[in-house]
Homo-oligomer: A and B are copies of this chain.
């Protein structure tokens, strides 16, 4: 394995991409970073590193893309040394089977490289998180990532057929089948384990033919509730839009501001006319729904027609689908502007959850209401907006964005207060602590509450078996005591 103890590497591979990571780096004089970084090239090297780490009291924090936003790389408990185990050299494509639509990769492979290899054969994994360009397959699996097209392809855990993971004592590798009734699967334990149980070195994934074309539907609803209801009906009817994204009133306004900024002349005039038409219809503060469908041929056209029928029946106004192109061209761009905004003293953060359809609007209202009642966030000009980002037959995820003015000299405390408030609201409102960001250090407190004592004891037993010395990413997910 390559070795580095350069300060820049220790810094680069010691932090994720959360708001609090950025604030720490910008404001804290003494940063807690790994002592060194190792770059294994094959799984036997990972095994050797873990064995040596046990012997020499080295804490191992597995790092690949480093786009985590829940402080998963934070150094919480420390043995003698801390090593960032950087997986990016393990990025081989091991097998692509276009007949069975499966592919096996080493897990340090980045999104674009993985897709390029599949695209060359007319195939795709279909996993496009916002972090796509900077994140890896192993990271996706270890944190239960969700891509923007999860409506068609599922979350990452739905795509896994088999895993190979290395622990200090064992190599766990399941015999994989399309489906089976051969006993107990253990590989799901690695999914969402965030580096605490083992290092995921290889994964066999379900893949898909690349769609020939896509079509967008853009629609407006009078309110979030009626939009959510239409979206639910659509998904429950068995339609599978790749992307389904319903913005609340505030987010819809933000998006239309962004759109307007770029529009001139006739287009601008048309938009103004459309707006006054909508206002007359009672759509003065509408909610925008964007749906992306595969459009390979006549059968998909029929699906899209059916989707529009479902929307119209629920009083949607269908807009020109070109409205979606602005979003589409910027779908991976937020990571680029985040850090510069933060440096310009803007608090910018996102949080997310999921819940069953029955609880979706109540949870949404509960979170907004708690922030309003229990803080001065809105009084101080803070903005909160939200969209439904992923829809399933049984429920959906809510993705919130926060934009506020940083309190100079008080950045971390300001953020901590908001984070505490909204995560508690999510937890108490019955939402998942996270739908796709993960737990890490940032959400541990609430995951601790969610876990029953008997579940914790089972997890501890599994942890002690796989990592008896506790060298793997200690202090994350839940408290072991």
Contacts and interface: CB of A to CB of B under 8 A. Distances in A.
Nearest to A161: B394
A127 interface: no
Given A181-B434, A183-B451, A206-B394, 8 more contacts: A100-B395, A146-B179, A173-B452, A177-B356, A181-B432, A184-B192, A184-B459, A209-B236
B191 A184 contact: yes
Contact of A179 (B177, B184, B435): B435
A97 interface: yes
Which of A97, A183, A232 has most B Cβ within 10 Å? A183
A100 B356 contact: yes
Interface string A80-118: 000000000000000001011110000000000000000
A175 B450 contact: yes
A393 interface: yes
Contact of A182 (B170, B173, B192): B192
A101 B396 CA distance: 12
Given A180-B354, A355-B178, A101 B236 contact: yes
Nearest to A454: B170
A144 interface: yes
A181 B431 CA distance: 11
**Copy count, this protein chain:** 2
Which of A100, A102, A392, A443 has most B Cβ within 10 Å? A100
Contact of A177 (B194, B298, B354): B354
Interface string A286-302: 00000000100111001
Contacts of A238: 240, 294
Contacts of A143: 181
Interface stretch (A216-224, A314-322, A460-468): A460-468
Nearest to A194: B183
A303 interface: yes
A344 to B, nearest CB: 30
A100 B392 CA distance: 9
A53 interface: no
A457 B465 contact: yes
A448 to B, nearest CB: 10
Interface in A240-297: 240, 294, 297
A395 B177 contact: yes
Nearest to A188: B188
A214 interface: no
A191 B182 contact: no
26 contacts: A97-B356, A99-B358, A100-B358, A101-B236, A101-B393, A143-B181, A144-B180, A145-B181, A170-B454, A171-B452, A177-B354, A177-B395, A178-B393, A179-B395, A180-B354, A180-B435, A181-B438, A182-B192, A182-B439, A184-B459, A186-B189, A189-B189, A209-B236, A298-B305, A302-B303, A458-B466
A231 to B, nearest CB: 13
Nearest to A167: B454
